[in-house]
Amino acid sequence: MKRKIYKDLLAWKRAPVRKPLILRGARQVGKSYILDEFGKKEFSRYHHFDFEKSKKDLVPLFKESLSPDVLIKNLSLFAGVSIDPVNDFLVFDEVQNSPEALTSLKYFCEDMPELYICAAGSLLGVALSSSSFPVGKVSYLDLYPMNFREFLLNGGNDLLYESYKDAIFEGTVSSIAHGKLWDCLKEYYVVGGMPGVVASYLSSPDEKVEGMKRVRVLQRELLDGYRSDFSKHAGKVNAVHIGAVFENVPLQLASHMADSVQRFRFKDVIPGKRGYASMEGAIDWLQKAGLIYKVPICQRSQLPLKAFTKANIFKLFIFDVGLLGCMLGLEPRTLILQDYGLIKGFFAENYVACELIAGGEKDLYSWTERNSEIEFIKDCEGNIIPIEVKSGLRTKAQSMRQYIKKYNPQTAVMISGRPLSLKGQYMINFPLYYAGEMVASLSALQATNLSSRRHDYSN
């Protein structure tokens, strides 16, 4: 499977000054796979050490010594082959099982900076938050589920993928390409971006119905695995709270009939518990495990956006849209036909959140003021851009009009079922399948002043 993070791994390898790398990401998003591909293609030899499968043998090595020279000697003995610190590539997989192995990266950085070494793990975010890991001694990369572009890239239709790439630069998309991309997006709504699920679905392109049945089976297995992780890594009591929050997120998303997702409510999520304080730990655990995305809600649209948020007012989204559909029991046919009533707005909004975050948007916010709300707002080089999300062709946007009237932004964005429209407009329209390209496109638009010809959208 082709992943866009491969270019980032190459850039890390080729950097004149390099630190040990930590690859973060939720369970089963493809960390081991991409590091295996990278190791085989880019190095004459690479060594993979799994701290889950070989915990009994590996963990004691790091308790005995953190000296890079000693560790390389012992790891060579364990692997049965001599490790070359100058040319070989080392991977510490599932490294959250050994705090000492994480700490060793500091000493590899200081005493053996020539070594190509990467640590990865499904719960590294949780592990790092509880350890005294030295700041400034490692580099980080985040791996997310495959976004729509990666899904399209691996789908086997090279002509459609080329049309997808060309259209974003040309600022327009043909009607036939738009129709085919829209059909692919509906498939992505079912499949989502978990690499194993995607690979299974794409393995039989002529049997889509059967492929979607397999998809749901695999997704249920993944969800069972996450639930097992709660018990295994968080303790019995915490696991109950974490599980309750995780299961409640999709239920709250689907409970709103309006287009925009509402703030996460704490009442009745955990029996006998009320308020943010009683759920903060569970939400934080899920967020650090990469299983949910937290989007603060701003009460004013002014910089810095964080100053106009409250700790207990936010939206929560599931990290993969395919798993969201599975958790809600939405049949593939229902998603393909877009036949799930007025509530489908939440599905598009969750999808867009995932696309923006995977596309590099680290600080994503929402906006609510009085009776108006905008799904997302972002700081784009000092300019706050409102982003409204619509699930189809109907794009009435009273909240956007109110926002523009009050804040007069330089650019406004609509993400909907309508075709791409970038050229010379104040209100820019991105089709839903281009949501992941929006961040880079907006920066390019601002640089070329394509948004300077403002339409009077406030009337």
Tens-digit pLDDT profile for residues 2-11: 999 999 999 9
What is the signed CA dihedral for 247, 249, 252, 253, rounded to 10 degrees? Answer: -130
Percent of the chain with pLDDT over 90: 76
Q: How many CB atoms lie within 10 A of CB 243?
A: 18
pLDDT mean over 366-378: 94
Burial of 398 (0-12, 13-18, 19+ CB in 10 A): exposed
Backbone angles phi, psi at 80, to 5 degrees: 75, 20
Whether pLDDT at 424 is above 70: no
Whether pLDDT at 1 is above 50: yes
Residue 257: its pLDDT value, please?
58
CA distances from 297 to 27, 263, 287, 312, 362 (A): 28, 8, 16, 9, 15
Instruction: Give the residue extent of every domain in the chain.
Output: 5-142, 149-448
DSSP annotation of 421 reads B
- State how far the Cα of 390 lies from the Cα of 385, in Å rounded to an integer: 16
Prediction pTM value: 0.93
Domain 5-142 matching CATH 3.40.50.300: the answer reads yes
DSSP annotation of 118 reads E
